[in-house]
Amino acid sequence: MVATQETSDSSQILAELTNRLRVLESKQNLFSEKLLMVNQNMIEEYKKFNNDIKAMRAETSDIRKDMQNVKTVVKHLSEEAANFARKDTIKVLEKYINLWNPLRFVTREEVERLVNRKEGVKVAERSTDK
């Protein structure tokens, strides 16, 4: 009886160990699957991260080019601004224009008409003097 009890105890222990081993194997399989999934997700995220970095570098490069263009344009504008007339120069020109008053200038035709008219008056005076 002792031998049968020992064999039954050892069979129960063996069965329990077998069950525990199966549980551990299933846990290890689940852990392996989860680890594989985590690795795949990490690889996908790494690829996305690298793509994002490439896009940011390209965008940064474009921004640098744009900033260089803006600097060039501002430099050109400042150089051109140095060639603009100053306020005091404009005031002097305004005084000369007001002094000359170009709106009172006459055209060539008006001068010829006035000269012809004066000559006509002189001719008329000469003929009446005689």
Check whether residue 75 and residue 100 sit in a common domain. no
Is a pLDDT exceeding 80 seen at residue 33?
A: yes
Q: Do 107 and 79 share a domain, yes or no?
A: no
Under the banding of pLDDT at 50, 70 and 90, the label for residue 1 is: low
Cα(70)–Cα(67) distance, rounded to whole angstroms? Answer: 5
Where is pLDDT greater, at 116 or 47? Answer: 47
Q: Are residues 65 and 8 in the same domain?
A: yes
The residues, any chain, with a CB within 8 Å of residue 108's CB and separated by 6 or more, are: none
Residues 39-78 have pLDDT tens digits of 999 999 999 999 999 999 999 999 999 999 999 999 999 9
Do 48 and 35 share a structural domain? yes
Statement to judge: residues 46 and 109 lie in one domain: no
Number of domains in the chain: 2
- Domain assignment of residue 39, given as a range: 1-84
- Shared domain for 41 and 78, answered yes or no, is yes
Average pLDDT, the chain: 89
Q: What is the pLDDT of residues 76-90, one digit of tens each?
A: 999 998 888 888 989
